[in-house]
Structure 1
Amino acid sequence: MHVLGLTDHLGNVGGAEISARTILSGLAVRDDVDAVTVVGIDDSDAKRLDFDGVEVVPVDPPPGADSLPDFAVDLLVERRLARAARSRAADADVVHAHHRRSALALSRLDVEPPTVATVRDFWPACPISIYDVGGERCTGCDDRLNDCVAHQGWDGLTEPGVKAYLLAKRRHQRPALAAADCGVFIADHIRERFAGSVELPDYTETIYNPVDVDTDVAPADFDAPTFVTASSLSESKGVETAVRAMGRVVEEFPDARLLAFGDGPQHESLEALADDVAPGAVEFHGRVDPEAVYEAMAGATGTVFPSVWDEPFGRITVESMALGTPVVGSDVGGIAEVIEDGETGLLFPPGDESALAEHLLALCRDSSLREGLGDAGRERAADFTPARVAEEHRALFERLVGE
């Protein structure tokens, strides 16, 4: 079997690109896969990922892309990707687009092999890919466009033009997924959100993201209850909830700490909040190497993932499980899909600082709870190993080729 992959970026831009690289490289080492090729945009400002065993076909980004509107870049990139992929599709048994622009490029191809588009966020229904308005689930541009524009700060004199732009981008994106022979979703809740509102391919399947964690890291040695959160410091990530919960935790465990890794627009306001509600209990470490996060997480009492929006997947949930550290997450999106409450982790209503505090206190008090959740989490994490996810993709491709 020869797999032709399309990716928006060959560089290390984010988790989506790392997932695509991991899947393609995982396929390349299999004895039942003859060859793997990837066509992707070669960003000069991002270090290229190492696609072990994969033939890499770099595509130059459009000139001046950094200064163009996102929609214009979409149109240029999808054409470039489609042009580069078209000449190689004849030798492929399956063509797999891993991201939004890649899926748009896929819809421009008229090729014989079956085509697959992976959906990693809400782009088929939402022009800005988040399908969320201030932490509330969006019901679509037909009735929430005004709220969305206001929430993003795009209202004002340019508002009519912004709305026209978003609607045009939405119209362009919506047919792309249905043009594929198969849609792969990285979580069931994304597919369920689209049911009845977006035309889907005749065949769809859920295959979770691969998560590759170095579980041999040396755990940090903490002498007091310590919790870790790692994300952007932005409103949607709900770190404020974790900070407020720590105010309750330190009443019973004065030495308890929350280590916050990451940066973002709420950094200063969160530091001020921490000084107010939990003085000295929250440490902001900014952006650090993943290994430093893993070391802290491996030695922590628990990991906190307090997002208030529907995380498409939630990689940190699985990373914590793989390290044997109990994870406490919001009962939303991919977080709730990965965690079985009380079995492989603990869930709490998004934004509910009291419920989160009770979970954190329970972990501080009960070592058997920590051990039980940690052991069950390790078992659950085995469902997301790169080898397991590569096998699921190969089996899917086999079914499509057979049909």
Structure 2
Amino acid sequence: MNVLALTDYLGNVGGAELSAREILVGLAAHEEITSVTAVGGDLPGVDRLDFPGVDLAPVEISRYQENIPDLVSDSVLGRRLARTARQYVDDADVIHAHHQRSAFALTHLNTSTPTVATVRDFWPICPISIYSVNGRQCRGCDADLNACLQNQGWDGPESPAVKAYLRLKRRHNRGVLTEFDANIFIADHIRKTVSQSSAVADETNVIHNPVEVTFEGNPITTDHPRFVTASSLVDQKGIDVAIRAVGHLDEFQNAELVIFGDGPQRSSLESLAASVAPGQVDFRGRVDLQEVYQAMAGATATIFPSTWEEPFGRVTVESMSLGTPVVGSAVGGISEVIDDNKTGLLFPPGDDAVLADHLESLCKETEFAASLGQRAREASKRFTRESVASQHYSFYNSLVR
């Protein structure tokens, strides 16, 4: 089988690009795959990711394209990706667009070859790809646009123009998934949410992101309970919930919370920590990934307290791969990855009291915590590059036949 892949960027832009790279490298190593060709954008000044075994067809992107309204840049880049992809269409058995712009590129290819588009967030129904307002699921632009603008800080004098632009972008995005033979969603909650508000392809599948963890150091252990969070310090990540929960641990006042990451909420979170959990919270900021893994591997648990529908939640799988259980909010992709009371623990989003109860149980029941970690490590194997690539091949095969 010959696979033609379209990806927005070949460079190290973010988690979506890393996930696509892992899938393509895994497919290139699959015994039933003859070739994998990746057509993707090349941003100046951004290091290109390594794609062993994959034939690359880069499309040069100028910086100006990233500084124009994304509705326009989506169209421009989509057409440029399609122009290059046409050179490889005739030899392909399946064509797979891995991101939003590359999905638009796919609409410009006139081909009978089976086409697949991956949906990694809420872009088909939400013009800002988030579909969340003040920590709750959005009800759509018709109902929540004013609240959305206020939540994003866009409710100034220019708000009428912003509203018109967002409505136009939403109309542009909705329904595009039906132009493909199949859609892959990286989580079932995304498939359900998108399907409720927009038409999708006749064939759909859920294949979670691959997560490869290379841990080169030794776990940093302590003689007291220690919990870890790793995320941007923004409201929807719920870090305040984790801080309050640790402050509730009256029987374990030596418990520590290590917070990796930075963001606009850092100052307010530091003030909160000084008030409700004095001396128990350590803000580390942005550090090398291996330092995060060292702390995570030796921690009692990782806390993932997001209050919004995380599309997937890479941190969950990273922690599981290191044998550390995750205590996560029961929302979005987090609740799909964690098997409650088997590979981790779930709590209602925003509920610091229930989270504190879970943390206390892990402090008291060390054997239970260890068993969660062992089962988590085993469960994480379904997210390896090889496993996820095999799932993609099986789905391609069902379309080709």
- Bucket of the pairwise TM-score, normalised by the shorter protein: over 0.9
The residue type equivalent to 2:314 in the other structure is R
Show the 5 A alignment for 1:247-326.
Answer: 247-249=247-249, 251-326=250-325
Q: How far apart are residue 215 of structure 1 and its match?
A: 5.0
Q: Distance in 1 between matches of 2:267 and 2:70?
A: 29
Does the residue aligned with 2:174 lie in a helix, a strand or coil?
Answer: helix
The residue type equivalent to 1:163 in the other structure is K
Q: Distance in 2 between matches of 1:228 and 1:57?
A: 40
Does the residue aligned with 1:52 lie in a helix, a strand or coil?
Answer: coil
- Which string of whole-angstrom CA distances, capped at 9 and with x for unpartnered residues, describes residues 102-133 of structure 1? 11111121112110000110001100000000
Q: How far apart are residue 63 of structure 1 and its match?
A: 4.8
- Which string of whole-angstrom CA distances, capped at 9 and with x for unpartnered residues, describes residues 184-204 of structure 1? 011111111122321100100
Does the residue aligned with 2:196 lie in a helix, a strand or coil?
Answer: coil
Seq. identity, %: 56
Equivalent residue number for residue 153 of structure 1 = 153
Q: Distance in 2 between matches of 1:175 and 1:59?
A: 27
Q: Distance in 2 between matches of 1:216 and 1:10?
A: 26
8 Å CA contact 1:215, 1:322 repeated in 2? no
Does the residue aligned with 2:39 lie in a helix, a strand or coil?
Answer: strand
Does the residue aligned with 2:283 lie in a helix, a strand or coil?
Answer: strand
Q: How far apart are residue 55 of structure 1 and its match?
A: 0.7
The residue type equivalent to 1:266 in the other structure is Q
Alignment pair present for 1:131 and 2:159:
no
Greater shift, 211-220 or 196-205, is seen at 211-220
The residue type equivalent to 1:111 in the other structure is T
Q: Distance in 2 between matches of 1:8 and 1:167?
A: 23
8 Å CA contact 2:43, 2:63 repeated in 1? no
Equivalent residue number for residue 392 of structure 1 = 391
Equivalent residue number for residue 346 of structure 2 = 347
Does the residue aligned with 2:320 lie in a helix, a strand or coil?
Answer: helix
Corresponding residue pairs, total:
401
Show the 5 A alignment for 1:70-89.
Answer: 70-89=70-89
Q: Which runs of 4+ in 1 moved over 2 A?
A: 214-217
The residue type equivalent to 1:339 in the other structure is I
8 Å CA contact 1:90, 1:112 repeated in 2? no
Alignment pair present for 1:52 and 2:52:
yes
- Which string of whole-angstrom CA distances, capped at 9 and with x for unpartnered residues, describes residues 338-377 of structure 1? 1111111100111111111111111111111111111111
Equivalent residue number for residue 96 of structure 2 = 96
8 Å CA contact 1:187, 1:337 repeated in 2? yes
Alignment pair present for 1:116 and 2:116:
yes
Alignment pair present for 1:379 and 2:378:
yes
Give the TM-score taking structure 2 as reference length.
0.98
Q: Distance in 1 between matches of 2:354 and 2:246?
A: 12
8 Å CA contact 1:62, 1:73 repeated in 2? no
Equivalent residue number for residue 205 of structure 2 = 205
- Which string of whole-angstrom CA distances, capped at 9 and with x for unpartnered residues, describes residues 304-360 of structure 1? 000000001111111111111111000100001111111111001111111111111
The residue type equivalent to 1:144 in the other structure is D
Q: How far apart are residue 82 of structure 1 and its match?
A: 1.1
Give the TM-score taking structure 1 as reference length.
0.97
Q: How far apart are residue 221 of structure 1 and its match?
A: 2.2
Q: How far apart are residue 151 of structure 1 and its match?
A: 1.3
Does the residue aligned with 2:340 lie in a helix, a strand or coil?
Answer: coil
Does the residue aligned with 2:95 lie in a helix, a strand or coil?
Answer: strand
Equivalent residue number for residue 336 of structure 1 = 335
Does the residue aligned with 2:48 lie in a helix, a strand or coil?
Answer: coil
Q: Distance in 1 between matches of 2:227 and 2:339?
A: 20
Greater shift, 120-129 or 41-50, is seen at 41-50
Q: Distance in 1 between matches of 2:223 and 2:38?
A: 47
Q: Distance in 1 between matches of 2:187 and 2:293?
A: 24
Q: How far apart are residue 216 of structure 1 and its match?
A: 5.7
Q: Distance in 2 between matches of 1:165 and 1:195?
A: 23
- Which string of whole-angstrom CA distances, capped at 9 and with x for unpartnered residues, describes residues 34-91 of structure 1? 1101011111232111011101111111451242122221121111111111221111
8 Å CA contact 2:44, 2:63 repeated in 1? no
Greater shift, 66-75 or 366-375, is seen at 66-75
Does the residue aligned with 1:37 lie in a helix, a strand or coil?
Answer: strand
Cα RMSD (Å) = 1.2
